[in-house]
Amino acid sequence: MYRTHNCGELRLGHAGEQVTLAGWTAAKRDFGQLTFIDLRDRYGITQLVFDMDTQPELCEQARKIGREWVLQIDGVVRERSNKNPDRPTGDIEIDVRSLRVLNASKVPPFTIEEDTDGGDEIRMKYRYLDIRRAPVKEKIIFRSKVAIETRKHLADEGFIEIETPYLIKSTPEGARDFVVPSRMNAGEFYALPQSPQTFKQILMVAGMDKYFQIVKCFRDEDLRADRQPEFTQIDCEMAFVEQEDILNTFERLTKHLYKSVLGIELPDFPRISYDEAMQKYGSDKPDLRFDMAFTELDSLVKGKGFPVFDNVELVVGINTRGQASQFSNKDIKKLTSWLQRPQIGAKGLVHVKWNEDGTIKSSVGKFYTDEQLKTWLEAMDARPGDMLLILAGEKDATRKQLSELRLEMAGRMELIDPTVIKPLWVVDFPLLEWDEESQRFHAMHHPFTSPTKADMDKMNSTDRAVLSSIKADAYDLVINGAEIGGGSIRIHDRELQMKNFHLLGFTPEEAESQFGFLMGAFEYGAPPHGGIAFGLDRLCAIMQGEKSIRDYIAFPKNNQGRDVMIDAPSSIDEEQLKELHLQLDLPEQ
């Protein structure tokens, strides 16, 4: 028995008890007569006291101990004279009677405190030290709680967790697969799953009815910040359901997670259509913690002699409340430059200020009378002191630009309260997305997504506009402007699936060789079914109001896909390559 208690649990009520503790030396303070050590473990920090007067040898021993040494001590709990109210154990300390060094430590390369002096690269290399820091440790524990509560809740709702295989088949559709050469099947490869999509659909055909799995998925993509080659999904599928059943089920799950892990009761989630989201917020994952919805001004601004507005597809703006006095002409110029950067790509910015003194100032004041501008202000529910920001251009691009501006302004205006939680369902996505470059349709969600019942007939059209207008029976859960997950009702009919593959540019042979097993399964009594997947890493980050997912992952990879702690990937030897029937084909140096 290495310890009777952990370093986070002793309280005043334990005073007088003989205890044994073990942990790491977080800090040491030597005073004339006394030496203090803060002993840390996963559960907290407890102060140890060594007294030179009463135990000189022990105190000498303690003074030789360095940071992060692993200690085991016996001692007696006693009340502290100057208590530390910031620490749950701050009312007590341990009068140490014996001390054993379980392991020494080199001086750690960065400080192991709430805030560290270690840079990203060194923290990743010594990840085992970084995880000792409370902020990282707490995130990993938080993730574990979210996972267990997810499992408990779904099991209570009758879901079965079923493991699907990791060694599957490569399919060129979608992102790039990681592949695994097969030694026993020369020249052949497994692929690591990008998601268990086809297997979970097969499980519905198999009658399993309510499936879930918390599962690793793999994508060999060029890594952007905050993308990992392996990531974790809460993956679900249900049979004999319609969209409404799935939304309700996973709204219950989300509410359960907020309640059980954070103690927060969420109200019912609003549902808005993709079209409405795009029209009002220019985004299919709108942040609803603040309003600033778009107002389309075309009917008010066109035909009044301002050619820029007359010749565009869309004129649309937001009302920034109380900002008229906050933005000088120079500030507006800066904001315009910010919008004109290639990342956003706006052509320009029109503003209308309604000053507190009642005057109206606008960058298009030459083209419109005050009376006309007032109609805009009215349309956007403005009051004296407000400022309208207006963009114009091609519809989709302009909405995206204004969406960026909306988020930027909300940040500057401090409208984003991190304690507010605004979930919503976005529904009725388009089924197909025309890609100019490849001159073909792509699946907006994935090729197994069903059109809505209302749009089923349009699947037979050959008109690109008609096909583009088909709505998918698909949905996303969005919280505070981040997509937590999405899903769809699936196609469960072989003919319809073949038709969809055809629209997506698959030849019948390609469809058969890649997904023949699924379409084969559809011929043996496939039930209506649908599902959803949440990104676990993302969900955890959003629940805690964090921007980065990385510290929710115990051992993340860097932007080159490397694990710098273990130094992977690495070379393998010739013999291993030979067994796998492979040769390296390296680029010229």
Residues 2-21 that bind a second copy (CB under 8 A): 2-3
Does the N-terminal peptide bond of residue 569 adopt cis geometry, omega within 30 degrees of 0? yes
Q: Which residues pair with 213 in a beta bridge?
A: 235
CB closer to a second copy, 31 vs 524? 524
CB of 568 to a second copy, least distance (A): 4
The amino acid at residue 420 is V
**CA nearest 490: which of 438, 529, 441?**
529
CB closer to a second copy, 259 vs 395? 259
CB closer to a second copy, 439 vs 583? 583
CB closer to a second copy, 98 vs 517? 517
Instruction: Show the site string, 170-209: x = touches a second copy by CB under 8 A, - = not.
Output: x-x---xxxxxxxxxxxxxxxxx-----xx--xx-xxxxx
DSSP 222: P
Question: Which residue has 């937590």 as its token pair?
Answer: 484
Indicate which single residue of 78, 87, 97, 151 sits in contact with a second copy (rule: CB under 8 A). Answer: 151
Close Cβ partners of 57 (under 8 Å, ≥ 6 residues apart)? none
CB closer to a second copy, 229 vs 385? 229
- Binding residues for a second copy restricted to 35-54, rule: CB under 8 A: 40-42
CB of 152 to a second copy, least distance (A): 7
CB of 207 to a second copy, least distance (A): 5
CB of 314 to a second copy, least distance (A): 40
Instruction: Give the three-state DSSP class for 60.
Output: helix
174 φψ region: left (φ > 0), alpha (ψ -120 to 50), beta (else): left
Q: How far apart are CA 238 and CA 456, in angstroms?
A: 21
Q: How far apart are CA 47 and CA 21, in angstroms?
A: 11
Exposure class string for 304-329: b at 16+ Cβ within 10 A, else e:
eebeebeebebbbbbbbbebbeebee
- Binding residues for a second copy restricted to 277-306, rule: CB under 8 A: none
CB closer to a second copy, 405 vs 518? 518
CB of 563 to a second copy, least distance (A): 7
568 binds a second copy (CB under 8 A): yes
CB 385 within 8 A of CB 322: yes
The amino acid at residue 180 is V
Total residues in contact with a second copy, by rule CB under 8 A = 125
Distances (CA, A) of 34 to 11, 139, 449: 22, 36, 70
Largest distance between two CA atoms of the chain = 94
152 binds a second copy (CB under 8 A): yes
234 binds a second copy (CB under 8 A): no
Question: Which residue has 């009919």 as its token pair?
Answer: 493
CB of 156 to a second copy, least distance (A): 10
Indicate which single residue of 54, 57, 128, 345 sits in contact with a second copy (rule: CB under 8 A). Answer: 128
- Binding residues for a second copy restricted to 424-453, rule: CB under 8 A: none
Angle at 37 between CA 128 and CA 32, to 5 degrees: 145
- Its sign, for the CA torsion 536, 541, 542, 543, is positive
Indicate the angle between helix axes 395-412 and 274-281, nearest 10 degrees. 60
- Binding residues for a second copy restricted to 505-564, rule: CB under 8 A: 517, 521-528, 553-555, 557, 560-563
Structure tokens at 125: 């290399």
Indicate which single residue of 46, 47, 164, 249 sits in contact with a second copy (rule: CB under 8 A). Answer: 164
225 binds a second copy (CB under 8 A): no
155 binds a second copy (CB under 8 A): yes
- Binding residues for a second copy restricted to 448-507, rule: CB under 8 A: 492-493
CB closer to a second copy, 168 vs 308? 168
232 binds a second copy (CB under 8 A): yes
- Binding residues for a second copy restricted to 367-386, rule: CB under 8 A: none
Indicate which single residue of 78, 87, 216, 458 sits in contact with a second copy (rule: CB under 8 A). Answer: 216
CB of 585 to a second copy, least distance (A): 5
Indicate which single residue of 165, 345, 348, 411 sits in contact with a second copy (rule: CB under 8 A). Answer: 165
The window from 52-60, 124-132, 363-371, 461-469 that contacts a second copy (CB under 8 A) reads 124-132
- Binding residues for a second copy restricted to 61-120, rule: CB under 8 A: 68-70, 72, 102-106, 108
CB of 528 to a second copy, least distance (A): 6
Q: How far apart are CA 536 and CA 504, in angstroms?
A: 30
DSSP 472-506: BSEEEEEETTEEEEEEEEBP--HHHHHHHHHHTT-
- Binding residues for a second copy restricted to 239-268, rule: CB under 8 A: 240-242, 245
Distances (CA, A) of 526 to 490, 494, 530, 585: 11, 9, 12, 45
The amino acid at residue 210 is K
The window from 8-16, 144-152, 281-289, 333-341 that contacts a second copy (CB under 8 A) reads 144-152
Indicate which single residue of 12, 122, 140, 262 sits in contact with a second copy (rule: CB under 8 A). Answer: 140
